[in-house]
Structure 1
Amino acid sequence: MLAGFAAGTAAGILGSTSAAHAAVSELVWATWESNGHPEYVTAFEKETGTRIKLSFLSSEDAQFAALKTGSAADWDMINPSLNGSWRYIKAGLLKEIDLSKLPNAARMYDVLKTTPKVLDDSGKLFAVPYLWGLNPLVYRTDKFDNEPDYTTLFDPKYSGQLAMRDYALESIAIAGLVAGVPRDKVFLMDAKELAEAKKLLIAQKPLLRTYWQTIGDLTNLFATGEVSCAFSWRVPYDELKGKLPMGMAKPKAGIMGWCDCFGMPASLSPEKTELALKFADYLLGAQYATEIARIGNYATTSSIIRDDLTKEQQAAIFVDDMEVMKSFMWPVAPDNYSDWLKIWNEVKAS
């Protein structure tokens, strides 16, 4: 049902663009492995005659650094987070986006369509939220008597079976929660609170099997039995739940929500900019929403297919009750994020 619904819409939106952009043979999209499966972009490639070359990211910090140093000169489209976009905007790394060029933006959920987090101080738009969800704890249900929470990730009882993401913002925030910092302050920790989080993370390090960088690597570690609990994306749960006893926990201390945005490097050529905007509109359209819901169990920021899904399909991607967004902790890179990065590097070097 999903594939059939989206096919006609994609053809209508994209059919007129193929001849006009035949000269652009390739666009390089820097994004996460879970967002950019080749199946997700096939319709766009077919209709425009343009190949979407996928360049998978290891972390947002690495993406930001690559843009700032100019080492990612071949990227045509990038993937800043909703709560980290301000760094790119402040550094002048992004091209302004004309929202009138994105017809599908009209169907975006209001809370994401009107967010000021993708605007500069004058109100100009530089990034477009297109995908959102939650980051749970994924675990082997046969290894735990009770559902794990964030304290499990610091428990010597599970030494050698745990994994954390190699990302300062979320990992330090989790340590802050375990240290007792209130959820509404955890991304605004002062020096004393950051020091306590650092102590916990240094004590945690020998308990970990690894700091994971790609979700594919973490999925493999679950599959081989090397990891039984990790702060994760939902991918390992979805890919392995039919083969292994897998669980997905939503810690009461706070569920880490995420939202990915579409952006363009400030130096992108006019020709590529025009086609990249077509691709941004595609990300908000029915075809992409259908494929990523069907394969990845993720929801886009548009309601374009929501009412055509069954209740079970809506529940699978957390759009059956939009109030769930209110229970999320939205990671926010603080003004002193350089201090967080310094702490994270010291933890890993300890």
Structure 2
Amino acid sequence: MNRRMLLQSALAGTALGALAPATRALAATDILWMTWENLAKDDYLAPFLDAHDVSLTKTFIGTDDEQFAKLRAGGASSVDLITPGLDKVEFYTASDLLQPIDFDKVPNASLLYDTFKQTPLGKVDGETYGIPFYWGINPIVYRADLMDEEPDWSVFFEGDKYNGKLAMRDYALEGIMIAAMYLGIPESEMFDMDDKQLAEVKRVLMIQKSKLRTYWNSISDLTNLFATGEVVCAFSWVPPYYDLRDKGIDMGMAKPEAGVIGWCDTVAVPKGLEGDRLDATLELVNYLLGPEYGKMLAVGGPYAQSTSAARDMLSPEEQSKIFVDDLSVMDSFVWKKNPPRYNEWVALWNEVKAS
């Protein structure tokens, strides 16, 4: 049993196996992609498989931390492509787990939006180790029929009207970023706050906790809380806004002027991959940044590619859903970074929750 057969057997509980008919089992190259489930739908990938003599095996991750742990434990030798967050690539490169990507073999990368071309994240010494792949925002989502006006970050820290009907994601990085934005701490200082600033963050987070219905982990649970009216406003991912609006509920989405948290995931190639398998993997990367995949991701997600490849193929409504109709929205983004004192951030967050 070779390494790939062994890995497929070991991952049988989480992987879907070969992403193609049984006849593709004899394909010249088998690529294993470790990624999020929503990115690797069969119909998204069928055009690539139909055009190339490859098969595709996929295994799904639940968190970026889980993916990183698997690679550090030796999984890099058995995985061809991974999907780390743009802000997390530095952990992988610091552990010498990735190889730089040859842009000559990924021509669609030339279509990256300027924001992603210019970001220093995902790069080391001028070489790119994680190509921005898809992106979005984490806004405030709210029941427009149950709130008097569009909220901003202050709704989680001031007033009493919505006490017990607010929700915040249980994630120290984003929770503390939101408190910092509310306090007016500039982005240039946000990820390296001093003791005085962190003490002020803790103070307002204690106020916030007294106003919350819950800290959420599952977006489906949050969607249900919105549907029942138990939660009227939350720091959220985008899907509940569309899911519940499609069910006839009057939902709103707010992008506070103080800043909106932007996120971006990348595609990255583990160190040691070479030869035909590396070439096939980079062809897959090029497809993931191209128009066919981008259109399906936009319509089916809805999520935005980090390139403009599919933009002109989308209707105005489809462009609006994924925020590519007006790219100036990125001007208000606060992109997640890794605070040097993040262990202290986590300890602060846990202390607030336990209070």
| 2:287 pairs with 1:275 | no
Instruction: Output aligned runs, 1:1-350, within 5 Å.
Output: 22-25=27-30, 27-31=32-36, 33-48=37-52, 50-58=55-63, 60-69=64-73, 76-120=80-124, 122-155=125-158, 156-243=160-247, 244-266=249-271, 272-350=277-355
1:349–1:71 Cα change, 3 Å: farther
* Partner SS state of residue 338, structure 2: coil
Question: Which secondary structure state, in structure 1, belongs to the residue aligned with residue 270 of structure 2?
Answer: coil
2:340 is paired with a residue of what secondary structure? coil
Give SS of 2:45's match: helix
Amino acid at match of 1:171: G
| Whole-angstrom CA distance in 1 between matches of 2:185 and 2:168 | 19
**Count of residue pairs brought into register by the alignment:** 330
Larger Rg: 2
In structure 2, the residue matched to 1:6 is none
TM norm structure 2: 0.80
One-letter identity of the residue aligned with 1:255: V
When residues 52 and 221 of structure 1 are mapped into structure 2, their CA distance, relative to the original with a 3 A threshold, is farther
Partner-residue secondary structure (3-state), 1:219: helix
Change beyond 3 A, Cα 1:21–1:208: farther
What is the CA-CA distance between 1:87 and the residue it aligns to? 2.6
User: What one-letter code is carried by the residue in structure 2 that aligns with 1:344?
Assistant: W
Tell whether the 8 Å contact from 1:45 to 1:52 is kept in structure 2 after alignment. Answer: no
Where 1:132 maps in the other structure, the secondary structure is strand
Compute the TM-score of the two structures, normalised by the length of structure 1: 0.81
| 3-state SS of paired residue (1:196) | helix
Which deviations, in whole Å up to 9, do the C-alpha atoms of 1:244-286 show, x marking residues without a partner? 1111111111111222111133365766544332221121011
1:343–1:270 Cα change, 3 Å? farther
Aligned-residue offset at 1:288: 1.4
Change (3 A) 1:63 1:220: farther
Mapped to 2, the partners of 1:56 and 1:137 lie a distance apart of: 26
In the alignment, what sits opposite 2:20? none
Secondary structure of 2:231's aligned partner: coil
- Could you tell me which amino acid in structure 2 is paired with residue 115 of structure 1? T
- Alignment RMSD, CA only? 3.0
Give the AA of the match of 1:289: G
In structure 2, relative to structure 1, the CA distance for the partners of 1:72 and 1:195 (3 Å cut) is: farther
Change (3 A) 1:273 1:162: farther
Separation in structure 2 between the aligned mates of residue 76 and residue 215 of structure 1, nearest angstrom: 29
Q: Distance in 2 between matches of 1:62 and 1:193?
A: 31
Greater strand share, structure number: 2
CA distance in 1, matches of 2:315, 2:204: 44
**Following TM superposition, by how much is the alpha carbon of 1:196 offset from its aligned partner in structure 2, in angstroms?**
1.9
CA shift, 1:62, in A, is 4.6
C-alpha distance in 2 between matches for 1:235 and 1:342: 30
Q: Hey, what's the Cα distance between the residues in 2 that align with 1:105 and 1:202?
A: 44
Percentage identity across aligned positions? 46
Give, in whole Å, the separation in 1 of the partners of 2:118 and 2:132. 10
| Contact in 1 for aligned 2:25/2:55 (Cα 8 Å) | no
Name whichever of 61-70 and 284-293 sits farther off.
61-70
Cα 1:93–1:72 change in 2 (3 A) is: closer
Contact 2:32/2:56 (8 A) holds in 1: yes
The 1:291–1:201 alpha-carbon spacing in structure 2 relative to 1, beyond 3 Å, is same
Gaps of 5+ in 2: 1-22
Q: 1:345 to 1:78 in 2, by over 3 A?
A: farther
| Cα separation, partners in 2 of 1:73 and 1:147, compared to 1, 3 Å | farther
Q: Which amino acid aligns with 1:145?
A: D
CA distance in 1, matches of 2:140, 2:293: 26
